Amino acid sequence: MLKKIFYFGLGLASLLYENFDELVRAGQERYNELLDADLPNEEPVEIEVVTPREIATQVVDDVTDNVTADDLTAINGIGPTFAKRLQKAGITTYQALAGLTVEQIKEITHVAEWQADPNEWIVAAKAMS
């Protein structure tokens, strides 16, 4: 679910980015119209420009602020190090962990065969979510 929300935010930022030039042009035209208009005692209009990166960052921050992280170390075999690596990759809930494949977990955590079985993590995460 978190992944879907995250991708939605990125998609929204992408749409805004695509229309950014058009919005800036429209804003500049409107600003020029206001400057050319003979308005008595009017102050110049300030237009705040926000970059697509700032918008995307805000969307992602808003999404992640509303998600409470689960204690991944409650799963047998996931210690603080593996939990940190998963969190760094954006995996902070049991549901997100349950949605991964064994290969993805191995790639994210760099877990060795002798350390733990990522398949057991997936089964436990599904049970806990």
- For every residue of 5-71, DSSP letters joined together read HHHHHHHHHHHHHHHHHHHHHHHHHHHHHHHHS--TTPPPPP-----HHHHHHHHHHHHHHT-PPP-
Q: What is the DSSP letter of 118?
A: H
Please check the confidence at residue 2 and state whether its pLDDT lies above 70: no
**CA 46 – CA 17 distance, rounded (Å):** 21
Specify the pLDDT at position 66: 60
Q: What is the DSSP letter of 110?
A: -
- Of the ranges 11-20, 59-68, 72-81, which one carries the lowest mean pLDDT score? 59-68
Q: For 6-14, what is the mean pLDDT?
A: 67
Q: For 58-87, what is the mean pLDDT?
A: 80
The CA radius of gyration of the chain, in Å to the nearest whole number, is: 23
Reported as a pLDDT band with limits 50, 70 and 90, residue 77 is very high
Q: Judge if pTM exceeds 0.85.
A: no
**CA 102 – CA 120 distance, rounded (Å):** 9
- Of the ranges 6-10, 24-28, 113-117, which one carries the lowest mean pLDDT score? 6-10
Q: What is the DSSP letter of 95?
A: H
Specify the pLDDT at position 49: 76
